[in-house]
Amino acid sequence: MRNISHGRSVHLLDVENLVGAPRPATAEVVTMMDHYRRRVPAGFMDQYVAAVNHGALVPVGLALAGIQILVRSGRDGADEALCEVIRLDHLDTRFERVVIGSGDGVFTDLAEWLRRSGVQVVVVSRPGALSRRLRRTAGQVIPLEPAA
């Protein structure tokens, strides 16, 4: 049987966390994504899933055309949507690497579960926004620092 996870990565983007604003402007998201793509290695089979609150949908949608976007309202809506993807979409069997684009500690337990399942876990975060627990759990951390 062929291993469908081999060489595949999924990038889970908590856009508000990566930009550092609950309602980022389209230009801010474009800049963040350009910087993300320069810092984070990706293959041609990689998939991207972004999550935002309803108030950020239009500017994020314009900036991230072609990327699956999940919308969830509430203080931690984007986090909850991405956590559901990790739990319910069988990422542990479909991908060799899961890249969590967020520094929120809410992802720590799921990152630990993925690692125990044999999945490489990479966390991409603004340095000042990275949870200590998540930093310790990740197999690799890539700082997403503002462009100079």
Domain of residue 74, CATH code: 3.40.50.1010
In a domain, 1, yes or no: no
Least confident of 49-53, 78-82, 140-144: 78-82
* Whole-number Å distance between alpha carbons of 115 and 111: 6
* Whole-number Å distance between alpha carbons of 58 and 53: 10
In a domain, 85, yes or no: yes
Q: Tens digit of pLDDT for each residue in 102-138? A: 999 999 999 999 999 999 999 999 988 999 999 999 9
In a domain, 2, yes or no: no
Q: Which 3 state secondary structure label does DSSP give 25?
A: coil
- Total of domains in the chain: 1
DSSP state of 76: T
Q: Tens digit of pLDDT for each residue in 2-39? A: 455 578 899 999 999 999 998 999 999 999 999 999 99
